[in-house]
Amino acid sequence: MLTSRFKKMLAELLDERVGFDVPMAGYTSFKVGGPADALAAPADSRQLTNLMVMLEEESIDWFVLGGGTNLLVKDFGIRGVVISLKHGFSEIMAEKTGRDSVIVHAGAGARLSALCRYAMENNLAGMNFAFGIPGTVGGAVIMNAGTSLGAMESVLSEIDVLYVPNRPKTVPGSRLCFNYRGLVWDDSMITEKGRAPIILAGRFELEPAGDRDQRAEAESLQARRRQSQPAGFSAGCVFKNPSLQMPAGKLIDQAGLKGLRIGNAQVSGMHANFIVNLGRASASDILRLIDTVREKVLQAHGVELEPEIKIIGE
C-alpha cells in the first residue's frame, strides 16, 4: 500500500494524471483485474523521468501498462504504481523519407492499429501483418507481436528507451534480439535492480507500396480473422504455439475442450486458444480454466502448454 505522503507527492507531480485504487478491469481487454494502488499517465518524458526518479528513491514497485490486451491481472490487483503511456506517448509521424523506404516513428502508447492505419493511408507496405492485432506499439514490440505473416522484429529499425530512472537512449534494431513472441533484452541493458528499460517509441522501416492495394489486403486479412476469432472479452491467444505443426488451438480443440466453462470463463467455441469472459468472470475463474486446459492437453497429447498472456498482480 502507498503511504499518504507518497500519494501526495504523486498528486503534486501528476495532478489529474494519477488515480488511486483504480480497478484494472477497466484497462484490460479481459475486463477482469483488481485495483492498482495508483495508475499514473505522465504527459511527457520529463514527467515520466521525474516519476521514475521518485519511484526509485522510494523503492516503490512499478509496471508499465500497454493496451492491456495480452494481460491477466489477478483479483486483488497490483501493488505499486501502474504507468500508462497512452496519453503522453502516442504520436505517429514519418521521420525520414528515402526512395526505397520511409521511417515511421510511433510512440509506445500509440495503438498498433493506428500505426497500421497510418501505413495504409500513406500507401506504405510492411505493417499489414499486424492488422487486427490489438494493443499498443510498446506492448507489441515487447511481445514481438505477430501472425503467420510476420512479426514486429521484421519492421522495427530502432527503439527509444528510458533506462530507469533517468537515462534516455536510442537502441538500434541490430542490438535487439527477438524470439517467438518476445524481445529478449541484452544483459547490458538491464538495470542494477534487474529491470528492463521502458520503451518510449519505435521506428519502423516501411516501403512505398506503389500500385499494390494495401487497403484490400488489410481488409481481407481482417475478414479472415473475424471468421476464425471470437469478438468477446478476451486477451487473444492464451497459449504459445508449441510449434508450427502443433498450434495450441488445434491441441486444445482435439482434446475436446471447446466450450469448457469455469465460473464465467469459457474456452471459445470458435477458436480453442481463446478464453472468453462471458460477462462477470473473475481472474481466478480464468486462471482455473487455464490450469484445467493445461492439465487436459498434457493428458491428451503429452504437451505442456505455456501461456502467451502475461499474468500479473496478486
- Of all residues in the shown chain, the one whose CB is closest to ligand EPU is 236
Pairing of strands 78-84, 35-40: parallel
The active-site residue out of 17, 111, 205, 237 is 237
User: Is there a contact between 92 and 115 (Cβ–Cβ < 8 Å)?
Assistant: yes
Q: How far is the CB of 159 from ligand EPU (least distance, A)?
A: 20
Which residue, 48 or 151, is less far from ligand EPU as judged by CB?
151
**Chain residues that interact with ligand EPU, rule: CB under 6 A:** 147-148, 228, 236-237, 240-241, 247, 249-250, 253, 271-273, 308
Residue 203 is among the residues annotated as catalytic for this protein: no
Nearest to 293 by CA among 273, 309, 313: 273
Nearest to 87 by CA among 53, 154, 39: 39
Which residue, 88 or 146, is less far from ligand EPU as judged by CB?
146
Q: How far is the CB of 107 from ligand EPU (least distance, A)?
A: 22
Which residue, 7 or 240, is less far from ligand EPU as judged by CB?
240
Q: How far is the CB of 190 from ligand EPU (least distance, A)?
A: 25
The active-site residue out of 111, 181, 203, 294 is 181
User: For residues 250-263, b (16+ Cβ closer than 10 Å) or e, as one string?
Assistant: ebbbebebbebebe
Which residue, 68 or 247, is less far from ligand EPU as judged by CB?
247
Residue 181 is among the residues annotated as catalytic for this protein: yes
Residue 177 is among the residues annotated as catalytic for this protein: no
Residue matched to cell numbers 500500385: 211
Q: Measure CA 270 to chain center.
A: 23
Q: Which cell is 47 given?
A: 514527467
Q: How far is the CB of 247 from ligand EPU (least distance, A)?
A: 4
Residue matched to cell numbers 509506445: 108
Q: Check residue 129 and report its DSSP letter.
A: G
Catalytically active residues, by annotation: 181, 237, 308
